[in-house]
C-alpha cells in the first residue's frame, strides 16, 4: 500500500504533495514501483499538525483520487480519514474503495454506520486518545494483549453494526512508546488470533529513527528491516512511503516461505 499524502505537514517531508504536478509524479512513481493499492491522506495525524475543516480534507482527497484515476482505473484507492461524512463522500461520490480510520471509529461514532452502508472494506486501527494527546495514553498491562482485546471488541461491534470486511492495524507509533512498538512487533503472530488480514504501517516512523538515531529521511533501511520481520510474522499489507523497497522485501520473504 503506497502512501499519497496530499498535505503540507505530514511527518515525513518527502511524502508531502500539494500541487497537481507533484501528486501526479508521486502516483506515477508508486505505480511504476508496483504498488497494489494507494492510501490517500488529506489530514495529517502528526502531533501538532493543523486541524483542517472537512471540506478542505475532501478537496485534498479529491485531488489525490483524480490523480490516481488518471493513471489507473483499477488500482484500489484507500482514504485515510477518521471523519464519517468525509469517508461517505469519498466512497460514494469520489470513487474511493477502502476506508482507513486511524481511530477505529472512536473519533466519530457514525463511522460504523458509514462502513455498513457503503460496504467498503475498513481498516480498523488501534489508537488511544487523539493525534494531539495520544502519547499521554501509553499505560498498558501488556501492550500486545491489550491491543488485541480492543481490536477484538471493535471487530465484534462493527459486525453488529453491519460491517464485515475488516482489516486490522495494530497502530504502530500511535499511543505506544518506542519499546511498546517493538514488543508488539515481537509478538505480531498473536494478531492472527483475530482472523483478519493484518496491515503493518511503520514506514519511517519514530520507533525507527529514535532507535537508530537520525530522522524520517534516514529511516528507509530500518523500515525495510521491520517490514521484512512483519511479513515473516503474518503481515498481509505493508503501508509504505517507499514502494520499490517494500516489493523487494515481499519478493524475498515469499521466496523463503
Secondary-structure percent of the chain, ordered helix, strand, coil, rounded to 5:
50, 10, 40
**Known catalytic membership, residue 239:** yes
**Known catalytic membership, residue 255:** no
Say which of 83, 239, 247, 255 is annotated catalytic.
239
* 34 burial via Cβ count (<10 Å: 0-12, 13-18, 19+): middle
Beta bridge partners of 200: 238
Contact 169, 199 (CB under 8 A): yes
The order of strands in the sheet holding 77-80 is 2-5, 38-41, 77-80, 98-101, 122-125, 166-169
Determine if residue 175 is left, alpha or beta; phi over 0 gives left, psi from -120 to 50 gives alpha, anything else beta.
left
Beta bridge partners of 167: 123
Say which of 153, 205, 247, 255 is annotated catalytic.
205
- C-alpha cell of residue 225: 528491516
CA dihedral sign, ordered 194, 199, 201, 202: positive
Query: In whole angstroms, what is the distance from residue 48 CA to residue 57 CA?
Result: 17
- Report the catalytic residues: 205, 239
Amino acid at each position: 500500500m503506497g502512501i499519497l499524502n496530499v498535505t503540507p505537514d505530514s511527518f515525513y517531508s518527502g511524502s508531502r504533495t500539494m500541487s497537481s504536478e507533484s501528486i501526479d509524479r508521486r502516483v506515477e512513481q508508486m505505480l511504476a514501483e508496483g504498488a497494489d493499492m494507494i492510501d490517500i491522506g488529506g489530514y495529517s495525524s502528526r502531533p501538532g499538525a493543523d486541524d483542517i475543516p472537512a471540506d478542505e480534507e475532501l478537496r485534498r482527497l479529491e485531488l489525490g483520487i483524480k490523480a490516481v484515476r488518471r493513471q489507473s482505473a483499477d488500482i484500489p484507492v484507500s482514504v485515510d480519514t477518521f471523519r464519517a461524512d468525509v469517508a461517505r463522500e469519498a466512497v460514494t461520490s469520489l470513487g474511493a474503495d477502502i476506508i482507513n480510520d486511524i481511530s477505529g471509529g472512536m473519533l466519530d461514532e457514525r463511522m460504523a454506520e458509514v462502513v455498513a452502508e457503503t460496504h467498503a472494506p475498513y481498516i480498523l486501527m488501534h489508537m488511544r486518545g487523539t493525534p494531539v494527546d495520544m502519547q499521554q495514553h501509553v499505560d498498558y498491562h501488556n501492550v500486545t494483549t491489550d491491543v488485541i482485546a480492543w481490536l477484538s471488541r471493535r471487530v465484534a461491534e462493527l459486525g453488529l453494526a453491519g460491517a464485515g470486511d475488516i482489516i486490522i492495524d495494530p497502530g504502530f507509533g500511535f499511543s505506544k512508546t518506542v519499546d511498546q512498538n517493538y514488543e508488539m512487533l515481537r509478538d505480531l503472530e498473536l494478531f492472527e488470533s483475530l482472523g483478519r488480514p493484518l496491515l503493518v504501517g511503520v514506514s519511517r516512523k519514530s520507533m525507527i529513527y529514535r532507535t537508530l538515531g537520525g530522522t524520517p529521511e534516514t529511516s528507509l533501511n530500518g523500515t525495510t528491516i521491520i517490514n521484512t520481520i512483519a511479513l515473516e510474522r503474518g503481515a498481509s499489507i505493508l503501508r509504505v512511503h517507499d514502494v520499490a523497497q517494500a516489493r523487494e522485501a515481499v519478493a524475498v520473504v515469499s521466496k523463503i516461505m
